[in-house]
Structure 1
Amino acid sequence: MLVMKFGGASVKHADAVRNVADIISHHQDKAQLVVISAMDKTTNHLELLAHLARDGKETEALEQFERVKRFHRKQISDLFPADQVEAVEARVTPFFTFIERIVNGILLLEEFPPRTYDRIVSCGELLSTTIVSSYLSFKGLDCEWIDAREVVKTDATWKQAGVIWTLTEENVKKQVKPKMKGGRVLVTQGFIGSTTEGHTTTLGREGSDYTGSIFAHCLEADSLTVWKDVPGILNGDPRIRQDTVKLDKLSYEEAVEMTFYGASVIHPKTIKPIFNRQIPLHVKCFLDVELEGSTIGSETNSEAITSYIVKKDQVFYQIKPKDFSFMEERLMQEIFDYIYKSGVKVNLVQNSAISLMICVDNRKSNNHEFVSLLLDKFEVQVQEDLKLYTMINFSVKNLKEAADAVMVQQHGNKLFVVK
């Protein structure tokens, strides 16, 4: 039993969809559940569409809507013979009708609340999976489309919904497992779920990896494979460093640390569900399926390789009591209460006798609320537009990275530098 996830780049045009179909066909001897993201940058295009409508730019919004429709209809016309196109278009038309209705509502009310965000952006995955599953069936595979919203149940935290695991596992057991058999391909959407009342939710941007992990966990799958346009997990971002190498094996712990501190190859929430079942996660390249890729599991062979992770758009706060008190436990608890209340995302903490220093993500509204809470009792110094550099398995030569830093920490084999 296999779970595979394909991102937007792997289905960005007709040739890419054909390649995905070839990959799936190579595993026809096993039952497969395939999670697919929105095609190319459709989620971004739907966000833009909604923002244009919210701002009252009706003409631009309608033009953007037509672009989204044309893009998907082109994929259909490129994938299917003429006598099949009309039938496939009929399957996607309800989603376009739904998008249009949402856009008209946004134009009328001139607002775009988080709940509406989840409703409109979810259509990207619904469109892509409808097209891909139709193509797999056209190519002769035993394929069935599954609506992830009927299976993955969540709370009502719009844009960042939390999974209700008991209900989701029960739904997988009743609705999905009975359909899993050798040669059968089940196609479902990444990124989306629904509340117990049936309202559409999303799991956070780039959350399709997480969806794959949810299904792998609930199905007790043999493995989860995430198909990317890179040869595997690299020890750094090749857009930043020229000397990157592939990490053949990583432990679950190493993978969690890398994703938490900013490595983007895997969504941070992906690891825990598969770790709990000890399911290996393979990261493979859809551009060259013969490459070995990388495996996240119980083993590692990366101890001697330094991994470099950069997290951009960081904010550094130095917090001091106004009365020059020591930074004792009572004051630190108060600050951390403010962190919790404001929803600040903390990446690094360091304290001295009279100050507490933290490095956080630049969530403007949350950070503003945090500082407002502090100002009665504390002086706050702020530095913005910083980067958090994390080096795992660092060596002495990496210490030069700490030059001119505003914050440096070392924990075991990890070096953290904020500058």
Structure 2
Amino acid sequence: MIVAKFGGTSVADAAAINRVVDVIVNKQASGPVVVVSALGGATNVLLDLAHKAAAGELLAALQMVEQLRDRHLREVHALLGSAPEADELALEISASFDELAHLAEAFRTLGYLTPRSLDTVAALGELLSSQIVAAAFRHRGYPAVWIDARDVMKTNDFFTRAEPDVDAIALASQEHLLPLLQQGKIPVLGGFVGSAPGRVTTTLGRGGSDYSASLIGAAIDATAIEIWTDVDGMLTADPRVIPGAQLIERISFDEAAELAAFGAKVLHPATIAPAVQRGIPVFVFNSRKPDGKGTMIAFDAPRLPVRAIAGKRSTTLVKLRSSRMLLAPGFLRRVFEVFETHRTSVDVVTTSEVSVSVTLDDATNLGAILQDLAAFGDVAVERRSGIVAIVGAGIADGSRAIADALIALGPIPVYMASLSATGINFTLVIDDEQVVPAMQRLHAAFFEHAS
């Protein structure tokens, strides 16, 4: 059994969806479960229209509803033509958009959005796209069955970032997925979407379709999890920044997780965790080039000083200085409890005897965090910071990699430097506008000159 997840660009239109069918029919003997994202860009539109409605812009919101309706119906008819199922599916989809229009009117009346209502709206993209993809399989004569993801992906009720209930997902997969696989059928479901107790709709957060695929893979003990996207695999850098970025054919779980957490766009940072726990290899392929090598993510990979370079812009640097830190047991624990209280993750940390500096990816709760931290000492903030990460399992193996990285940066100022506890990630905090030039310099030093 395998799980194959297709991102938004891989199901963007009828032509892309037909490529998905082509990919999967060649894997029928492997027992595939298909997980799909919303049609490319649809989730952004759904969230945008909800916010516009709540802000009183009902006409604009309803126009967006109709544009989305037209787009989905257009792809249905392009895929299914005049088949009877086309009309049936079109009616179901149109009814969903009627309901969305009613929700938009309710948001306008209320004047605000709750996290629960945002999840209800955001989930629609995956619920509809998965029905369309399942119908495309059947239209071409393949035994696909649509599964409502809410019947499988069980979560808590932390809306917009729901946490999965792994045991409940395993039980639901045994009930809804395994019997179909045993019958030779192809289950198709949306990623990103789940349900809390009472079957209340939730989502796993942006990028959560990858996470859904990994959770389902772990639940059914899949032999592999495949992530199909619009790039050839994991690369030595973001190709939008480094046009000459090279394909990584094999990478370790730890390295891939570090790259994902520090800006690599191919994988959601949480994607790999369920696969790691079960030892399931993850493959990344290009849906436009199904015969490509792709990238294999597994426990073992050739040990290199530098595997790839990642970068992340628009991060926030928070500095706390306090003489009370000196020889004070439990001081750092109390400081980090502030971030826990405000549900904010810390990326990079450096400490000295009397100071601690951290970077934040999400500054939503920064005001409250700074207010609480002020009780510990003097706080300073740099809002336009960036991060570059040099990732490689052998970066700390007595090689010159760290020294070479600093030399390659030349005149670019470095404000923080941190070698991860696992010794596979050397992270540098620099000015936001220097992230791109820094990545270019580092990639040239470790990959272009070496080749």
Shorter-chain TM-score tier: over 0.9
Does 1:398 find its partner at 2:405? yes
Q: Which residue in the other structure is 1:231 paired with? A: 232
Q: Which moved more, 1:192-201 or 1:405-414?
A: 405-414
Which consecutive residues of structure 1, in runs of 5 or more, have no partner in the other structure?
none
* Residue identity matched to 2:370: V
Please give the alpha-carbon distance, in whole angstroms, between the structure 2 residues aligned to 1:225 and 1:34. 10
Q: Residue 382 of structure 1 aligns to a residue in which SS? A: strand
Matched residue SS, 2:353: coil
1:416 to 418, 427, 430: 427
1:372 is the counterpart of 2:379: no
Separation in 2, partners of 1:376, 1:230: 47
**Deviation for aligned residue 1:333:** 2.2
1:12-411 paired onto structure 2 within 5 Å = 12-84=12-84, 85-181=86-182, 183-301=184-302, 303-321=304-322, 326=326, 328-364=328-364, 366-393=365-392, 395=401, 396-400=403-407, 401=409, 403-411=412-420
Where in structure 1 do 4 or more consecutive aligned residues deviate above 6 Å?
none
| Structure 2: runs of 5+ lacking an equivalent | 396-400, 431-451
Taking a change above 3 Å as real, the CA distance of residues 83 and 333 of structure 1, as seen in their structure-2 partners, is closer
Question: 2 CA distance for matches of 1:179 and 1:314?
Answer: 45
CA offsets 1:128-158 (integer angstroms, 9 cap, x no match):
1111111110100011000110111110000
Could you list the per-position Cα deviations for residues 218-268 of structure 1 after superposition, in whole angstroms to 9, with x for gaps in the alignment?
Answer: 111111111011111101111112331111111111122221222221111
CA distance in 2, matches of 1:417, 1:148: 40
Q: Alpha-carbon deviations, 1:29-48, whole Å to 9, x = none? A: 23221001000100000011
| Partner AA of 2:296 in structure 1 | T
Q: Which is further off, 81-90 or 367-376?
A: 81-90
Q: Measure the CA separation in 2 of the matches of 1:325 and 1:63.
A: 56
Cα RMSD between the aligned structures?
1.7
Name whichever of 171-180 and 131-140 sits farther off. Answer: 171-180
Where 2:179 maps in the other structure, the secondary structure is helix
Say if 1:209 and 1:267, in contact at 8 Å, map to a contact too: yes
- Measured in 2, the distance between the counterparts of 1:22 and 1:97 equals 33
CA distances 1:84-131 after superposition (whole Å, capped 9, x unpaired): 432220232332132122212111111111000000110001111111
Q: Residue 445 of structure 2 aligns with which residue?
A: none
- CA deviations 1:199-229 (Å, max 9, x no partner) are 0000010110111011110111111111011
The 1:354/1:62 distance shift into structure 2, 3 A limit, reads same
Judged with a 3 Å threshold, the aligned counterparts in structure 2 of structure 1 residues 370 and 418 are, in CA distance, closer, same or farther, namely same
- Once residues 75 and 98 of structure 1 are traced to their aligned partners in structure 2, the CA distance between those partners, rounded to angstroms, is 20
**Worse overlay, 372-381 or 85-94:** 85-94
Hey, what does 2:441 align to over in structure 1?
Answer: none
For 2:186, the aligned partner's letter is V
Shift of 1:327: 6.6
DSSP 3-state at the match of 1:268: coil
Aligned residues: 417
CA distance in 1, matches of 2:31, 2:139: 19
Alpha-carbon distance change, 358 to 238 in structure 1, aligned in 2, over 3 angstroms:
same
- Percent of aligned positions with the same letter in both sequences? 27
Measure the CA separation in 2 of the matches of 1:285 and 1:302. 25
Q: Deviations over 1:69-98 (max 9, x none)?
A: 111111112222234432220232332132
1:302, 1:263 → 2: CA distance?
20
Assess, with a 3 A threshold, how the Cα gap between structure 1 residues 305 and 354 changes in structure 2: closer, same or farther.
Answer: closer
Relative distance call for 1:315 and 1:289 in structure 2 (3 A) is same
CA distance in 2, matches of 1:135, 1:194: 26
Q: Name the TM-score, length of structure 2 as normaliser.
A: 0.89
Q: CA deviation at 1:413?
A: 4.4
8 Å CA contact 2:58, 2:104 repeated in 1: no
204-213 vs 268-277, which moves further: 268-277
The range that moved more, 341-350 or 389-398, is 389-398
Question: How many angstroms apart in 1 are the aligned matches of 2:294 and 2:260?
Answer: 17
Contact 2:69/2:94 (CA < 8 Å) preserved in 1?
no
Moved more, 370-379 or 150-159: 370-379
